[in-house]
Amino acid sequence: MKCVHLKGFQSLLELVDKPTPVPMGTEVLLKVLGAGVCHSDAHIWEGHYDLGGGRLMSMAERIRFPLVMGHETSGEVVALGPQAKGVSVGSRYAVCSWIGCGECRFCAAGDEHLCAAPRFLGVNRDGGYADHILVPDARYLIDIGDLDPVAAAPLVCSGLTTYSALKKAGPVLQQDRIVVIGAGGLGLMALNLMRLLGAKGAVVLEPNAEKRQAALEAGAVAAIDPGAADAVQQVRAALGHPVSFVLDLVGSAESAGIGFELLDRAGKMVVVGLFGGAMALPVPLLPMRAATIQGSYIGSPGELRELIALVRKNGGLAVRVDRRPLADADQALQDLRAGRVVGRVVLVP
Residues in contact with Zn ion by the rule CB under 5 A: 38, 40, 100-101, 104, 107, 115, 157
Shortest spacing between CB 277 and Zn ion, in angstroms: 19
In the chain, the N- to C-terminal Cα span, in Å, equals 11
DSSP letter, residue 206: -
CB atoms < 10 A from the CB of 264, how many? 17
CA pair distance 153, 245, nearest whole angstrom? 28
Shortest spacing between CB 103 and Zn ion, in angstroms: 6
Shortest spacing between CB 106 and Zn ion, in angstroms: 5
Picking from 15, 114, 104, the residue whose alpha carbon sits closest to that of residue 68 is 15
Q: Which residues of 117-152 are buried (b: 16+ CB within 10 A; e: fewer)?
A: ebbbbbbbbbbbbbbbbbbbbbbbbbbbeebbbbbb
**Nearer Cβ to Zn ion (156/291):** 156
**Nearer Cβ to Zn ion (243/332):** 332
Residues 6+ apart with CB under 8 A from 136: 26, 27, 99, 119
**Nearer Cβ to Zn ion (40/164):** 40
**Nearer Cβ to Zn ion (109/288):** 109
Shortest spacing between CB 62 and Zn ion, in angstroms: 15
CA pair distance 150, 72, nearest whole angstrom? 10
For strand 132-135 and strand 28-37, is the pairing parallel, antiparallel, or unpaired? antiparallel
Picking from 102, 91, 104, the residue whose alpha carbon sits closest to that of residue 141 is 91
**Nearer Cβ to Zn ion (100/149):** 100
Shortest spacing between CB 191 and Zn ion, in angstroms: 18
Say how far residue 210 (Cα) sits from the centre of its chain: 21
**Nearer Cβ to Zn ion (102/240):** 102
Shortest spacing between CB 102 and Zn ion, in angstroms: 6
Shortest spacing between CB 55 and Zn ion, in angstroms: 23
Q: Burial level of 171, CB count in 10 A (0-12/13-18/19+)?
A: exposed
CA pair distance 267, 290, nearest whole angstrom? 7
Shortest spacing between CB 288 and Zn ion, in angstroms: 36
DSSP letter, residue 198: T
**Nearer Cβ to Zn ion (100/187):** 100
For residue 203, give the amino acid letter: V
**Nearer Cβ to Zn ion (102/170):** 102
Phi first, then psi: give them for residue 106, nearest 5 degrees. -70, -45
CA pair distance 7, 64, nearest whole angstrom? 9
**Nearer Cβ to Zn ion (37/214):** 37
Shortest spacing between CB 181 and Zn ion, in angstroms: 18
